[in-house]
């Protein structure tokens, strides 16, 4: 007796199919081809990953592009972006404690909203992580050039900027990404220690800047506070949200954390508090030491302020070297998050299996790391910073909004699920987090939305051509 042929799964049914949390956890424990990731990261390492991926980006790279939008009120823009990030961080903390896998918000949405929304979220994360690595690396060339200025040297424009910014290739940016790739290959614990050292350097660097800048502080630089009005402050906050993507990098370490249910929520929330505090302090100090009209997107603003205040080129040398190290930390940790997202998507059949192969010797996804590193290096070398930063922001905002919604849905559908952390004032906090993300996304430019739409169309084509046929839930 022959069995009836299996009816093909309809597209609508497949897009709505959710992945059980128990299956997510079982697959994480088993790994790909029997090679799970190694659990070697404690709460300190996780917090440093989160801080390392966040701290420095908005201040060292994007500050010069945000000040012309908000004026002296740029510190309010940082605060607005920080509040929006904190609301989402609380939701991330709950989901990370309940679903501790490397998939971050991609896995959270897969378990709560189905394969279709999970693909959208995962595709946004690819945009968020890969593009943000390239954007941060682009900014590093400015500080490399400031370092050389101390010795009377200057990077030729042809190798210091991408085609859209008057150059041919941004060589320092590409080199920085490739170095970060090389650090990630030996293992998560080894790269975590390197990152921790760099985070200590960047915190000391920003504290040093605040001390120096406050010696030249002038309250007159804050009048008028918001020359572009509330619209300018909000537009700057939308761009600066790019500076807060780091905390979700910690959630991508769910399969390499020793005690993810306990440590991930602590690392996520702690890092947001540290980063937001330092961002606001540095922004206030920078505006206090220099009129807002003198800021521009084509210079390393903090170095110029230090030189103007101290009059010592040697100080600029030390600061520029420290800034390159700080930016390298962001590149390292965000590149790490990108590889772990792709690893989880490969495990689900959403992207080719090469991204899920784990080396038995190092316990890391070596082919994945090599492919991502090379592709991102090319992007960093050829695409201008402003376009990269805005594209990253919109991908981040969509992913964060989906995580906030996931918290609400999972509380309804799985109230008995073990949660090591619960969002306070539920459901107000995740609802406000979703609303903040939507409002900030609205203030991004039309060009950014067009680019995002094209990115999503490309993602839909990829899903229909590959992900739908290879999905493990099909």
Q: Is residue 36 a contact partner of residue 340, using CB atoms and an 8 Å limit? A: no
For residue 208, is it within any domain? yes
pLDDT by residue (tens digit) across 165-193? 777 888 888 898 999 999 888 877 777 78
Nearest-angstrom CA–CA distance, 378 and 272: 30
- pLDDT at position 387: 59
DSSP string covering 217-266, please? Answer: --GGGGSSS-TTHHHHHHHHHHHHGGGGTTHHHHHTTTTTBSSHHHHHHH
Q: How many domains does the chain have?
A: 1
Is residue 27 a part of any domain in this protein?
Answer: no
Residue 3 lies in a domain: no
State the CATH number of the domain containing residue 357: 1.20.1740.10
Examine residue 4 and state whether it is found in any structural domain, yes or no: no
Q: Determine, yes or no, domain membership for 24.
A: no
pLDDT tens for residues 81-119? 888 888 999 999 999 888 888 778 899 999 999 999 999
Query: Which domain does 373 fall in, by range?
Result: 43-470
For the chain, list residues with pLDDT below 50: 1-7
Is 32 domain-assigned?
Answer: no
| pLDDT tens by residue, 300-343 | 678 788 888 888 877 878 887 887 888 888 888 888 888 988 99
Please tell me whether the overall predicted TM-score, pTM, comes out greater than 0.85 for this model: no
3-state secondary structure string across 14-39:
HHHCCCCHHHHHHHHHHCECCECCCC
Q: Are 472 and 118 in contact (CB under 8 A)?
A: no
Q: Does some domain include residue 279?
A: yes
Within a domain: 54: yes
């Amino acid at each position: 007796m022959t069995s009836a042929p299996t009816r093909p799964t309809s597209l609508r049914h497949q897009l709505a199919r959710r992945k059980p949390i128990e299956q997510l956890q079982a697959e994480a424990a088993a790994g790909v081809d029997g090679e799970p990731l190694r659990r070697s990261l404690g709460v300190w390492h996780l917090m440093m990953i989160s801080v390392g991926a966040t701290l420095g980006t908005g201040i060292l790279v994007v500050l010069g592009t945000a000040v012309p939008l908000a004026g002296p009120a740029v510190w309010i823009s940082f605060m607005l972006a920080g509040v929006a990030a904190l609301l989402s961080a609380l939701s991330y903390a709950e989901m990370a404690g309940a679903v501790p896998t490397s998939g971050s918000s991609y896995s959270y949405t897969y378990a709560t909203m189905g394969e279709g929304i999970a693909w959208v979220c995962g595709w946004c994360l690819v945009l968020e992580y890969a593009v943000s690595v390239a954007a941060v690396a682009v900014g590093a060339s400015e500080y490399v050039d400031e370092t050389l200025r101390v010795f009377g040297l200057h990077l030729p424009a042809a190798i210091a900027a991408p085609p859209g910014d008057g150059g041919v290739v941004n060589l320092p940016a590409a080199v920085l990404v490739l170095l970060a790739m090389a650090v990630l290959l030996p293992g998560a614990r080894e790269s975590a220690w390197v990152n921790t050292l760099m985070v200590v350097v960047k915190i000391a660097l920003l504290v040093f800047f605040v001390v120096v800048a406050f010696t030249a502080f002038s309250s007159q630089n804050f009048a008028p506070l918001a020359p572009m009005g509330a619209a300018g402050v909000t537009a700057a906050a939308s761009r600066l949200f790019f500076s807060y993507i780091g905390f979700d990098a910690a959630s991508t370490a769910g399969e390499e954390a020793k005690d993810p249910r306990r440590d991930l929520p602590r690392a996520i929330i702690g890092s947001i508090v540290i980063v937001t505090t330092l961002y606001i302090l540095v922004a206030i100090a920078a505006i206090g030491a220099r009129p807002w009209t003198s800021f521009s997107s084509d210079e390393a603003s903090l170095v110029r302020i230090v030189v103007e205040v101290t009059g010592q080129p040697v100080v600029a040398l030390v600061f520029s070297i420290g800034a390159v190290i700080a930016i390298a930390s962001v590149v390292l940790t965000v590149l790490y998050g990108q590889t772990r997202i792709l690893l989880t998507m490969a495990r689900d059949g959403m992207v080719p299996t090469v991204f899920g192969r784990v080396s038995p010797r190092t316990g890391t996804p070596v082919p994945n790391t090599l492919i991502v590193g090379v592709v991102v290096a090319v992007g960093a070398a050829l695409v201008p910073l402003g376009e990269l930063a805005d594209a990253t922001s919109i991908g981040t905002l969509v992913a964060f909004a989906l995580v906030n919604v996931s918290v609400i849905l999972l509380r309804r559908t799985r109230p008995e699920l073990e949660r090591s952390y619960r969002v306070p004032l539920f459901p107000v906090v995740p609802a406000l987090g979703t609303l903040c993300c939507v409002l900030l996304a609205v203030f991004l430019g039309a060009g950014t939305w067009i680019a995002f739409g094209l990115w999503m169309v490309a993602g839909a084509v990829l899903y229909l051509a590959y992900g739908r046929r290879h999905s493990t839930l099909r």
